[in-house]
């Protein structure tokens, strides 16, 4: 039950963007240098993320990418769904054609797990991540 590389890299790239001074953008080359993710892969990930308004691109020689909204208003869940699709642990939860839907005893198990995952990722914003990052940095500086 894994989050794919797409999801993991997207969160790292977005965390990088959220740590930039407000209003500043970064080129995929700069993000690649800061995260270790190839710029080609970043371009691929930014297609769905742009479509969903999670990142915004600025054209031109000084162009680049920045968060599409304030980090408080972007959740980890939105980012993951944008690049991974559904986060449900089994396909039948979103497929309403299963004949056993009403009586299937295992469905309630899968939907409990799905709710747990959704509640968790929807309660974490990119601002929470950025705040944790700054604390992590200061903690390390103290050591």
Partner 1 sequence: MRISTRGRYGVRFLVDLAQSAGETHVPLAAIAERQRISARYLEHVAVILRRMGYVRSIKGASGGYALAREPADIPIGDVLRALEGDILVVDDPLPGETEGPLARCVRSVVYDRLNRRIADIVDRLTLADIVGGEGTDRPPMYYI
The site for partner 1 (CB under 8 A) is made up of 1-4, 8, 11-12, 15-16, 34-36, 76, 84, 87-91, 105-106, 108-110, 112-113, 116-117, 119-121, 124, 128-129, 132-133, 136-137, 140
Nearer to partner 1, 63 or 137 (CB): 137
Contacts of 25 (CB under 8 A, 6+ apart): 58, 62, 63, 64, 65, 66
Contact (CB, 8 A) for 83 and 43? no
Nearer to partner 1, 23 or 105 (CB): 105
Nearest approach, Cβ of 134 to partner 1 (angstroms)? 9
Dihedral angle of Cα 141, 23, 81, 11, to the nearest 10 degrees = -20
Contact (CB, 8 A) for 32 and 56? no
Nearer to partner 1, 47 or 100 (CB): 100
């Amino acid at each position: 039950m894994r989050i794919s590389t797409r999801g993991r890299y997207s969160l790292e790239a977005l965390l990088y963007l959220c740590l930039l001074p407000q209003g500043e953008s970064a080129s995929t080359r700069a993000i690649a240098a800061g995260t270790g993710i190839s710029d080609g892969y970043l371009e691929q990930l930014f297609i769905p993320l742009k479509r969903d308004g999670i990142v915004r691109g600025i054209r031109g020689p000084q162009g680049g990418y920045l968060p599409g909204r304030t980090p408080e208003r972007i959740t980890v869940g939105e980012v993951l769904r944008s690049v991974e699709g559904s986060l449900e642990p089994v396909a039948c939860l979103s497929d309403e054609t299963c004949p056993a839907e009403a009586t299937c005893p295992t469905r309630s198990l899968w939907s409990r797990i799905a709710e747990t995952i959704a509640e968790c990722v929807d309660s974490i914003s990119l601002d929470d991540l950025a705040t944790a990052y700054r604390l992590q940095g200061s903690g390390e500086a103290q050591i």
